Amino acid sequence: MRTTTTTIILTCVIAALRTAPTVAEPLKCMDRFKVKDLVIGAWWGPDPSLENYRTYKDAGFNVLMTYRNRANSKYGEDYQNPDAEFKLARKIGVWVMLDTYMKNETPWGGVEPDPPVDHPNHHSARPAQLDWLLGRYGNSPVLAGILLGDNCGLHTYMAENARSLAKTNPGLWPWLSTNPNVDAQGKEPMPLLTTQNYPFLYEIGQPEPVKREHFCNRLDYDRNKANELGIALWPFNNCTAAVSPSQIRFQVYAMAAYGSQGIWYFHYNDGVWDPTEEEPGHLYEASKEANWHLRGVGDRIIGRRSPGAFHTPGPELPGGMLVPGEGQIIERMSDALLAGVLVPEDRFDAGDLTPDTIIVVDKRTVTPDQDEPGPRRVYVKFSDDITAITVSTAHETYEKTLPASGRLSLTLKAGEGAVIGLG
C-alpha cells in the first residue's frame, strides 16, 4: 500500500526538471480494463434514441449508463432488454456502463435474487443474475463496465461479483458507486473510488466559497484515500438545473486537478440535456467545452497521482490545501485560483513528487440566477526550475518558454481550467 501526505510538498523543494512528458499509461490498478482513456461519464444516461445519444457524444461524453433502474414503467414489457442502448452505443461510438438494478418481482432472466432482497422495490445483480447478464452482454464490444452497487456498503455478494469479473471478464470495470467502506473495497478487485460530491445541489443556500470549499474537501479526502489504497479516483459532480455554467466548469476542472481518472456527471433533472423538451439544457455548451478540452489533454491526466492542490489563501481554505510560497513549485498566483499537482504514478510510488502536469482552475462561481462573470486575466509564478511549458486551454494549445520572472499569464472564464505541461 502507498501512503503520502500533502505535508511532503510543504516541507520539500519540488524541482520540476525539463523532461519529456511521461507516456500516458493508465494507473496500474486500471491497466486490465478495456477503456484506457480519461472517462467522461453520464449517469444515468439519456433515453435510448439516436438523437439523444448523438447529443451526449457531441458534448464529449464517452461512457453512458444504460437507463437507470430498467424497471421504469416507460419501458413497458421491454424493460429487461437493453439491446437498444447497446446498438445505439455501437452505432455512434460510445461505451456502455451496464446498470444491474432491476425490479424485485421481475429479476434478470427470471433468476431469483440470492441472497434475498432487502429493498422494497429493486435490487442489484446477485452472482447468478450477473452470470446471466454476462452470458447475454458480456462479449459486447461496447460494454465497458458493470454497476455492482450504488449508495450502499460493500455487500458480500458484490465482492463476489467483483472477484468473478476479475477472472471471467477482467476488461470490465467492477463499479461500486459511493461506498462508505472504501478500506474494505480496497482489499477487493474494485479499484474505482466514487463519491457523490454534491454541495452545489444540497447546499444551495450556502455562500459560493462554502460550496467550493466543501467540494474540494471531499476531493482532497478521496484523493488521499485513493493514493493510500492504490485505487483510482472517479468522483461525481452535479449538473442539475440548480447548477450554473461557472459551477459546472469549476466542478469538472477541479476534479481533474485533484487527479481524477474518470469524471462522472449526475444527470438527474438534467441541465446538460433537457429530457422534457428533448433539447440541450443550459449547461450543454459549458460542459461540452470542458469535456472536449480534458479529453484532448487526457494524456496529461491519465496515469497520474495527485499529492495535493495549491489554493490562493482566501475566503475558502480547503483541508490539505497547499499554499504557494518560496521553495514551492508555485510561488505566487492570482486570487481565487487552485492549481492541482499531478505526478506520474511510477515517480509517485518511488517517493519522487516531481510533477509533469499542473491544472490551474479559476474558482469564481455564481448561482444560476446571477450573471456569469466575464473572463479575467490571471497569473501563476513558477519556481526558477520551471522554464519550458506547454499550455492548453479550451481554446488553444501552445508551447512557451517562461520569462526570467517565471510568470505565466492566462485568460480564464469563471470556473475554467488550464492544463500546464512541465517540460
User: For position 5, what pLDDT does the model report?
Assistant: 38
Residue 13 has pLDDT above 80, yes or no: no
Give the per-residue pLDDT at 16. 36
Query: Which pLDDT belongs to residue 69?
Result: 53
Do the bridges between strand 407-412 and strand 376-382 make them parallel or antiparallel, or are there none, so unpaired?
antiparallel
Give the whole-angstrom CA distance, residue 46 versus residue 77. Answer: 19
With cut-offs at 50, 70 and 90, classify the pLDDT of residue 365: very high
Amino acid at 19: T
Nearest-angstrom CA–CA distance, 218 and 146: 25
Residue 105's pLDDT is: 83
Report the C-alpha gap between 161 and 370 in whole angstroms. Answer: 47
| pLDDT reported for residue 147 | 96
Q: How many CB atoms lie within 10 A of CB 232?
A: 25
Cα separation, 252 vs 246, whole angstroms: 10
Question: Which spans in 298-394 are helix H?
Answer: 345-349
Q: Which string of DSSP letters, residue by residue, matches 47-67?
A: -S-HHHHHHHHHTT--EEEPP
Mean pLDDT of the chain: 90
Q: CB–CB of 386/406 below 8 Å?
A: yes
pTM for the model = 0.94
- Rounded to an integer, the average pLDDT of 244-255 is 98
**H helix or E strand, kind and range, residue 2:** none
* Residue 259 confidence (pLDDT) above 80: yes
Model pLDDT, residue 48: 83
Note the pLDDT of residue 104: 86
Q: What is the pLDDT of residues 303-338, one digit of tens each?
A: 999 999 999 998 888 888 999 999 999 999 999 999
Please check the confidence at residue 10 and state whether its pLDDT lies above 70: no
pLDDT surpasses 60 at 85: yes
Name which of 357, 284, 321 is nearest 54 in CA terms: 284
Tell me the average pLDDT across 344-372. 97
Do the beta carbons of residue 38 and residue 262 sit within 8 Å? yes
- The pLDDT confidence band at residue 6, using thresholds 50, 70 and 90, is very low
In 214-325 the beta strands, taken as DSSP E runs, fall at 232-233, 236-238, 262-266, 273-274, 279-280, 304-311
The torsion angles phi and psi of 240, rounded to 5 degrees, stand at: -75, 180
pLDDT at 44 over 80: no
Q: Which three cell numbers stand for residue 208?
A: 459560493
The reported pLDDT for the residue numbered 78 is 62
Percent of the chain with pLDDT over 90: 77
Q: What is the mean pLDDT of residues 57-84?
A: 74
How do residues 176-221 score in pLDDT, each as one tens digit?
999 989 999 999 999 999 999 999 999 999 999 999 999 999 999 9
- Asked if residue 113 has a cis previous peptide bond (ω within 30° of 0), the answer is no
From residue 218, alpha-carbon distances to 212, 215, 225, 236, 404 in Å are: 10, 5, 11, 11, 37
pLDDT at 19: 45
Q: What percent of the chain has pLDDT over 70?
A: 91
Angstrom distances, CA of residue 214 to CA of 150, 200, 283, 313, 365: 22, 9, 22, 15, 14
Average pLDDT estimate for 80-84: 82
Residue 278 gets the label, from left (phi > 0), alpha (psi -120 to 50) or beta, of left
Confidence of residue 76 (pLDDT cuts 50, 70, 90): low
pLDDT at 103: 83
Say yes or no to pLDDT of 4 above 50.
no
Query: Among 72-86, 87-101, 398-412, which stretch is predicted with the lowest mean pLDDT?
Result: 72-86
Instruction: Report the amino acid identity of residue 23.
Output: V
Which residues, in sequence order, are CB contacts of 417 under 8 Å at separation 6+? 249, 252, 253, 254, 256, 257, 290, 293, 359, 360, 361, 362
Dump pLDDT digits (tens) for 374-408.
999 999 999 999 999 999 999 999 999 999 999 99
In eight-state DSSP terms, residue 309 is E
Report yes or no: 91 and 50 within 8 Å, Cβ to Cβ: yes
Per the model's pLDDT, the better-predicted residue between 86 and 14 turns out to be 86
Q: Please tell me the predicted confidence (pLDDT) of residue 346.
A: 97
> Residue 21: its pLDDT value, please?
53
> What is the model's pLDDT at position 102?
87
pLDDT for res 9: 45
Residue 262 has pLDDT above 50, yes or no: yes
CA 133 to centroid of chain Cα atoms: 26
